[in-house]
Amino acid sequence: MLYLFFTTLTLLAPPAPKYPADAIAPALRENAHAVVRAYDEKVVVKSASQLVKTVHKVVTVLDESGSDDYGMLALDYSSLRHISYLRGAVYNAQGQLLHQLRPSEIHDQGMGSNSFMDDLRTRYADLRQPTTPYTVEFDYEIVSENTLFYPDWQPQDAENLALEGATLQVTMPTALPLRYQEQLLPAGAASAPVATGNQTTYRWQLPAAPALEREPLAPPLDELLPAVHLAPATFEVQGHAGSLASWQSLGQWVYQLGQGRDALPPALTAKMAQLITVAPDPRERARKVYEFLQGSTRYVSVQLGLGGWQTASATAVATGGYGDCKALSNYTCALLKAAGLPPAYVALVGAGEGASDVRADFPSSQFNHAILCMPLAAHGTIPADTLWLECTSQTDAFGYMGAFTGNRHALLLTPEGGRLVATPRYGAQANRQQRRTDLWLNTEGGAKATVRTQRLGLAQDTYAQLLHNADPEQQKKYVSSRLRLSHFTITSLRLANAPTPALPGVVETMGLELASIGTAAGRRILLEPNLLGRLGALPAQVGPRLTPLALPPASLYQDTVRLHLPAGFRAENLPQPTQLTSAYGTYSSTCTTLADGTLQYVRLLETRRPSGTTLPAAKYSEYQDFRRKISQADNAQVVLVKTDA
């Protein structure tokens, strides 16, 4: 019997390999840190209030650079979003099973902080391996009771990530139409919907695709890769039903959630009413309301069930002194109303520097923040004289949106429903940097310098954060990282608010010691007078450009450098004046000798966006040429010579 048992064991075949790395086509390995072997997603909408998403995801990690991104998986959950299961396995390069994920290896942690009130948590599994290539396989299911959001599908969503294939299947009650928007799908990716009984099923399939390497000045990757954006026609969140048939209906749903929550304590209402006498001018009165808001409240994010969309009452904010973006915006609305000002409206916006604008032709919940809009004119219009207020900051300038919420569309919440409107647009004059540098040279090519830089508008956004939220060492570390210099020491640094009424600004005053900014050659010293304002050239395009050109915001840079020469030296050769004019901007630079022998270098650069936010790929070479000419002029040299005297 023992002999027979042993024989039976020896005849058992080992499991067949799964996803061996050498089965990946060479074209998919090129420029790839990882390859998505399979990404199969199924979405089943049970009703207007519940959907279930299941995912089978397999990724082969090719090198260490891909391990942190793809060797582990994190899933968020909350009271409205439940994880039914999470399973995983990891395979070696030959496709042999190395390890099956155990329940004890799935970690669970909160996502909150001191500035958050939420029930958000995350489960994550780590299957990273010390040796590559290896393959991870994950299966999970999520049940959502918040059908305001349907999941988007973008299996290939990062640079240096290739795709072998992916599928999406969405099953809906026929009585609940599916709304979707396809993005850059290859021909034949979509199948015709199939109705079976009272259910309709939609299917999409993506073929193999090589890894994408982001080209210089390309739009965000999520705009460049195939995707299917999903949204409901009708939805329900904790018993509150709504429609996404239009921006108007979405705005109406959110507006109604906040109705009746604008009452203030009587004493506060009376205090605001006193401002009518103190500040009869509407804009000045609104400024005083905003200053009161900033001095008496702080931001705390609230993401508790329906609280993610329904505002806390104005009374609660007044009593507690805190609120999230929508609560503080609603509270400010109430304060402005009590101060006798025109009606103000909360507006939803997709916030974030560099964030994509909303897909205006696809009404859906694309927002992550709330701000305030108060037209200083007739009800229901958005004239140029409109106040936009960021209600979550104690330091932001009155009426200024900046790169975080400016230059995009927001959904205005009015009694009549939602309406997409443009937030303030900031051009070159509102993105301005003015710098004055005095440079005292020594005979060995070193120097001491004092630099005063005033940044206004968009140019000051980061520096305003440094001014208010960073200590001196953190400020110095950031400023040092931005200086394109070698062998330097910052001897002093001070940031201060700039006294400019029209735009917020920050003044940076800095002292520098530079061991070597010039090259000593016998009796001569060669140096570049444009010490801090050089603009680098763009890399050459290898092969045809594939993606559109996304230009940086329009900007204005003004630099003046005064070179104080060491005793016994004079200028032997100065750069020729340069003038450039292009659809992308204008540039000029001059270097002259002043009456006292000091050299003065003056540079002006104004950049533009010719039209919209992106340009055709074919325009890259033209823009590259403009940048190349600027770079050449920026690196022009002064030659100093020691006199015989």
Alpha carbon distance 341, 335 (integer Å) = 9
Residue type, 113: S
Has domain 247-422 been given CATH number 3.40.50.10890? no
SS3 assignment, position 269: helix
Alpha carbon distance 86, 507 (integer Å) = 52
H or E element in which residue 613 lies: none
Token pair, residue 582, equals 């292009």
The crossing angle, in degrees rounded to 10, of helices 325-338 and 282-296 is: 140
CATH of domain 21-235: 2.60.40.3140
Look at strands 301-303 and 116-118 and give their pairing. parallel
Q: What local confidence, expressed as pLDDT, does residue 6 receive?
A: 41
Give the rounded percent of residues in the chain with a pLDDT score beyond 90: 83
SS3 assignment, position 566: coil
Residue 309 in contact with residue 254, Cβ under 8 Å? yes
Q: What local confidence, expressed as pLDDT, does residue 272 receive?
A: 97
Dihedral of alpha carbons 503, 463, 345, 366, sign: positive
Please, is 139 exposed, middle or buried when counting C-beta atoms within 10 Å of its C-beta (0-12, 13-18, 19+)?
middle
Rounded to whole angstroms, what are the CA distances from 517 to 225, 482, 546? 45, 17, 39
Domain layout of the chain by residue ranges: 21-235, 247-422, 431-642
Please, is 39 exposed, middle or buried when counting C-beta atoms within 10 Å of its C-beta (0-12, 13-18, 19+)?
buried
Q: Which segments in the chain show pLDDT lower than 70? A: 1-13, 111-118, 303-308, 377-384, 611-612, 645
Alpha carbon distance 226, 184 (integer Å) = 5
Dihedral of alpha carbons 326, 332, 338, 342, sign: negative
CATH of domain 431-642: 2.60.120.1130
Given this chain, do its domains 247-422 and 431-642 carry the same CATH topology? no
**Peptide bond just before 133 cis, omega within 30 deg:** yes
Phi and psi (nearest 5°) for 120? -75, 135
Please, is 466 exposed, middle or buried when counting C-beta atoms within 10 Å of its C-beta (0-12, 13-18, 19+)?
buried
Average pLDDT, rounded, for the chain: 92
Which of 534, 589, 596, 588 has the alpha carbon at shortest distance from 571?
A: 596
350 half-sphere exposure, CB direction, 13 A CA radius: 17
Prediction pTM value: 0.91
Please, is 5 exposed, middle or buried when counting C-beta atoms within 10 Å of its C-beta (0-12, 13-18, 19+)?
exposed
